[in-house]
Structure 1
Amino acid sequence: MNGKRILYLLLGWFSLITGIIGIFLPLLPTTPLVLLAAWCFSHSSERFHSWLLNHKFFGPIVNDWQSSDGIPKRSRNRAILFMWAGMLISILMVSRFWATITLISIGICVSIYLLRMPLRTEETNTNTTDDKDKNC
């Protein structure tokens, strides 16, 4: 294994572990770190990349990102809502002008990015109660 692959592998695991910690710490982003881990694993280890793509919790995040179908509208709206809630809490806790400006700038940029992403249409359940009654 060459040095570049080892570096990508270590960065991938560091990113994934930090992303898992981010599940429990509100200001540490999980999704970007999982996506970084997937990219690092794709350049270092087919086995770990495949494992991450098929993982119960992290696989859908990576698959949604890699597909060109877009993201569900509900997920996008939740992401924006929770991001701004976290930003507001951080702004109130820190109470520093430079931190407020930085957080607002980051929030605006991420919001614009998310709002410009293509939306995936959700499959709706077309079975009605009448259809279910006919099958019984």
Structure 2
Amino acid sequence: MLIRSLLLLVGLLSLGLGILGIFLPLLPTVPFLLLAAFCFARSSNRLHLWLQQHPHLGEPLRHWQERRAVRPVIKRRIMWLSTASFVLSIYLVPLLWVKVVLLGGMLVLLWCVHRIPEWNDEGKEGHD
């Protein structure tokens, strides 16, 4: 019971942070939504079902859970928004070493996202 309550709390916090990440450029959305889906699957069937059926958040989550793949348009959006967020951060940060760390983080993130399999509307999986 305690673990279920803790998972529910973490899921709700993750969902809130994921939704904030839609509007705040430096806060990631997808990792928090994946964590929320994981927590809800183990704590609240009702919230897990709601998240999966959500008109905006549900489709990418379902694709990831069912196929471990994302649609190409979602992948491109992740790459563009991540790049824009990192470039803005690099521009605003005055310390050179922080800029270098941010650049390295951006390159690692883009490489990882590039490696995610794509799922197109015809149901075929593949890479760029």
TM-score by length of 1: 0.81
CA–CA distance in 2 between the matches of 1:42 and 1:36?
10
Q: Aligned with 2:81: secondary structure? A: helix
Q: 2:11 maps to what in 1?
A: 12
- Kept in 1: contact 2:21–2:29 (CA 8 A): yes
Aligned pairs for 1:10-49 within 5 A: 10-49=9-48
Q: 2:56 maps to what in 1?
A: 57
Q: Quickly say closer, same or farther: Cα 1:69–1:18, change in 2 above 3 A.
A: closer
CA–CA distance in 2 between the matches of 1:58 and 1:77?
16
- Kept in 1: contact 2:60–2:70 (CA 8 A): no
Q: CA deviation at 1:83?
A: 0.8
Runs of 5+ consecutive residues of structure 2 not aligned to the other structure? 123-128
Query: Aligned AA for 1:88?
Result: V
| Number of residue pairs aligned between Structure 1 and Structure 2 | 122
Q: CA deviation at 1:69?
A: 6.2
Q: 2:120 maps to what in 1?
A: 121
Cα deviation, 1:46-101, whole Å, max 9, x if unaligned, reads 11111111111111121121121622223212211221111011011112233223
Query: Aligned AA for 1:46?
Result: N
Runs of 5+ consecutive residues of structure 1 not aligned to the other structure? 124-136
Q: CA deviation at 1:29?
A: 1.0
CA–CA distance in 2 between the matches of 1:16 and 1:69?
20
4+ aligned runs moved over 4 Å, structure 1: none
Q: 1:81 maps to what in 2?
A: 80
- Kept in 2: contact 1:31–1:61 (CA 8 A): no
CA–CA distance in 2 between the matches of 1:69 and 1:50?
18
CA–CA distance in 2 between the matches of 1:58 and 1:116?
22
Moved more, 42-51 or 61-70: 61-70
Q: CA deviation at 1:112?
A: 1.4
RMSD across aligned positions (CA): 1.5
Question: What percent identity do the matched residue pairs reach?
Answer: 37
